[in-house]
Amino acid sequence: MRLVLFGPPGVGKGTQAERFARARGVPRVSTGDILRDAVQAGSELGRRAKAIMDAGRLVDDDTMIGIVTERLGRKDAGSGFVLDGFPRTVAQARALDDVFDDGRPIVVVSIEVPEERLVERLTLRRICANCGWTAPPGVTVCERCGGTLVPRRDDSVEVVRERLQVYARQTEPLVEYYRMRPTFRVVDGDQTPEAVAADLAAAVASVGGGRL
């Protein structure tokens, strides 16, 4: 199972990626989480990425392709993975195709939500200050470690606007890159998380007759 979850910030990729990956026993690889961990650890990557992330822009392709290639080359990704937040540019998508050119398909599911709902969702979103877990709406303490929930640094209204513009400019063109493939699907993200998860499972099952 090689799955790419695609869609704008706030569409629910992280929540769905986590559920799907757990159900299938494959790792969820979130490039945003990898970068946030690096920022928290104060590594060289974290120091470079912090200002870019705080401004809502994209970290450069070479850095991101290097991170993902290394991560997906690890043993636990051997039987598959769910990618969340990568690729975000056509160059990243090409690199992913180059790494996995063995004939096993990469399923790409685009989750769609009307744009006006995204700003609302992002500004209401809370993550754990301690472990970075993203809390579903209504939850008040981290279910993983009991930590305090806080807004994400890049979820302020101004940065959200920038991130949505960056998405429209640099990431949305990827739909054209993937649209004609037999392994591309679209799922309506403007539903309950359970309903989106059910549609996602059905979309994946419909690729390759459910043999993936």
Q: Residue 82's beta-bridge partner residues?
A: 3, 28
Binding of residue 184 to ligand AMP (CB under 6 A): no
Least CB distance to ligand AMP at residue 10 (A): 8
Instruction: Judge residue 60's burial from the number of C-beta atoms within 10 Å of its C-beta, 0-12 exposed, 13-18 middle, 19 or more buried.
Output: middle
Binding of residue 163 to ligand AMP (CB under 6 A): yes
CA-based max dimension of the chain = 45
Reading the block at residue 76, the tokens are 């636990």
Q: Which stretch binds ligand AMP (CB under 6 A): 84-92, 123-131, 139-147, 204-212?
A: 84-92
Binding of residue 32 to ligand AMP (CB under 6 A): yes
- Beta-carbon-side half-sphere exposure of residue 13 (alpha carbons within 13 Å): 28
Q: Among this protein's residues, is 2 annotated catalytic? A: no
Least CB distance to ligand AMP at residue 54 (A): 8
Q: 127 by DSSP, 3-state: which? A: strand
Residue of 36, 71, 88, 185 marked active site: 88
Q: Among this protein's residues, is 19 annotated catalytic? A: no
Query: Between residue 103 and residue 132, which ones bind ligand AMP under the rule CB under 6 A?
Result: none
Reading the block at residue 100, the tokens are 């996995």
Whether the ω angle into residue 87 lies within 30 degrees of 0, i.e. cis, is: yes
Reading the block at residue 146, the tokens are 């009991």
Known catalytic residues are 13, 88, 125, 152, 163
Sites of contact with ligand AMP (CB under 6 A): 9, 31-32, 35, 52-53, 56-59, 64, 85-86, 88, 92, 154, 163
